[in-house]
């Protein structure tokens, strides 16, 4: 079951995220984004009453009034990685991003993973950000034409830590 994360899930999210990445850095990022008020929404996957996956979308600052989100991170407990949980979270997250009125989503992630959801380096070519030019920096337009003209985005301070 995929649902919105609740405050009662925070400890489980930290445990899943730390285990998924084998270090606490991404779990720390999640907590900083929350503390700074930059998390737009979080989803969890729950199986047998336990959180086994998590995804967070945070706000970006742009040089136009449209809403753009950063997807980061997505994590799945190691025993369930490569079972479809991560993909289910990304797909549910993108549907939710549309419902929130987002025009596009950016990700700094694995170049072989995110293109299956429509993300591409090509879509990010007109975007100026601290991550521009990286093969891991990809974008997905949720509305036609949003990345056809140059766009400058700023990330929340939590990404600098």
Query: Using alpha carbons only, what angle is made at residue 159 by residues 157 and 161, rounded to the nearest 5 degrees?
Result: 80
HSE on the CB side for 11, CA within 13 Å?
2
pLDDT bucket at 135, cuts 50 / 70 / 90? very high
State residue 93's pLDDT score: 98
pLDDT in tens, 27-71: 999 999 999 999 999 999 999 999 999 999 999 999 999 999 999
Question: Domain of 84?
Answer: 2-160
Instruction: State what percent of residues in the chain have pLDDT above 70.
Output: 100
pLDDT digits (tens, 9 = 90+) for 145-158: 999 999 999 999 99
Residue 65 belongs to domain with CATH number: 3.40.630.30
Total-model pTM = 0.96
What pLDDT was estimated at residue 51?
98
**Structure confidence at residue 139 (pLDDT):** 98
How many domains does the structure of the chain reveal? 1
Closest CA to 42 of 70, 80, 83, 84: 70
- Rounded distance between C-alpha atoms, residue 15 and residue 36, angstroms: 21
């Amino acid at each position: 079951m995929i649902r919105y994360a609740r405050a009662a899930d925070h400890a489980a999210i930290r445990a899943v995220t730390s285990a998924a990445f084998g270090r606490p850095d991404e779990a720390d990022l999640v907590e900083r984004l929350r503390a700074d008020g930059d998390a737009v929404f979080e989803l969890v996957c729950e199986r047998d009453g336990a959180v086994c996956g998590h995804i967070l979308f945070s706000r970006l600052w742009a040089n136009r009034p449209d809403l753009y989100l950063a997807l980061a991170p997505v994590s799945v407990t190691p025993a369930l990685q490569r079972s479809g949980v991560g993909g289910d979270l990304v797909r549910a997250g993108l549907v939710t991003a549309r419902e929130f009125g987002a025009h596009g989503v950016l990700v700094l992630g694995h170049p072989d993973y995110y293109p299956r959801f429509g993300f591409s380096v090509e879509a990010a070519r007109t975007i100026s950000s601290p991550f521009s030019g990286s093969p891991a920096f990809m974008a997905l337009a949720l509305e036609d034409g949003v990345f056809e003209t140059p766009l400058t985005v700023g990330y929340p301070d939590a990404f600098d830590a």
